[in-house]
Amino acid sequence: MSDLTRLEQIIEPEAKALGFDLVRVKMMASEAGDGDRALQIMAEDPATGQLVIEQCAALSRAVSAKIDALEEDGEVLIQGAYHLEVSSPGIDRPLTRPKDFTDWAGHEAKIALAEKTDGHRNLRGELIGIDGEIVSIEDKKAGRVDVPLANIHAAKLILTDALIAATQPLDTSGAEDILEDNEEKADD
């Protein structure tokens, strides 16, 4: 068992120190398929809304060092084996913070509710935004539905052409200088 609130308290200052905003901290089954769990950290650079590989690596190193230091001092943060996975939220990102519901208003989203609201547990449609603690979505079937933020179990953007067009592309300058292992071997 792990205390996600405590982990967020540890991870967020490490992200902030690197200039990143924390998007989500989640304990989940490892994508490696080895039966271990993964501590997934999603963060973004406020300038781009994304992280590049070097930024993920820097955050991973900072978080690992902090967790190791706390565990050496006797604080058990995560029971058992786990992997640390640090990533960018991606284009079809999860909506986890109130600002996400404002920033991505006008885009298609999918919202899963903890408890039914107006007879619905799952909503999909254009995200209207958030007012106080109430998230509004124009559901494709039910019309406008207003949901308390606290009742949202999970929410994410749906990949659409409009979302792709609205997402700032990463700077790819220098990418042509990166050689894949196969290319290096072919040149030998």
CB of 76 within 8 A of CB of 6? no
Angle at 45 (CA atoms; ends 108, 53), nearest 5 degrees: 100
pLDDT in tens, 161-187: 888 888 866 555 554 554 444 444 444
Task: Return mean pLDDT, the chain.
Answer: 88
Spatial separation of the C-alpha atoms in residues 167 and 7, rounded to whole Å = 29
CATH of region 4-87, choose from 3.30.300.70, 3.40.50.920, 1.10.3720.10, 2.60.40.1730: 3.30.300.70
pLDDT in tens, 73-114: 999 888 888 899 999 998 899 999 999 999 999 999 999 999
| Average pLDDT of span 131-135 | 97
For residues 78 and 56, give the distance between their C-alpha atoms in angstroms, rounded to a whole number. Answer: 21
What local confidence, expressed as pLDDT, does residue 116 receive?
93
Say whether 80 sits in a helix, a strand or coil.
coil
Q: Where are the alpha helices (DSSP H) in the chain?
A: 4-17, 53-72, 98-103, 161-166, 181-187
Domain 98-166 carries which CATH code? Answer: 2.30.30.180
3-state secondary structure (DSSP) of residue 182: helix
Coil, strand or helix at 75: coil
Q: For the whole model, what pTM was predicted?
A: 0.79
Q: Where are the domains of the chain?
A: 4-87, 98-166
Helix (H, G, I), strand (E, B) or coil at 176: helix
**Which own/partner contact pairs does 48-54 have at CB distance under 8 Å and 24+ positions apart?**
48/168, 48/170, 48/171, 49/89, 49/167, 49/168, 50/88, 50/89, 50/90, 50/168, 50/170, 51/20, 51/86, 51/87, 51/88, 52/88, 52/170
Please report, as a single letter, which amino acid is at residue 11: I
Please write the tens of the pLDDT for every residue from 30-84: 665 666 889 999 999 999 889 999 999 999 999 999 999 999 999 988 888 889 9
Yes or no: say if 73 and 26 are a contact pair by the CB < 8 Å rule: no
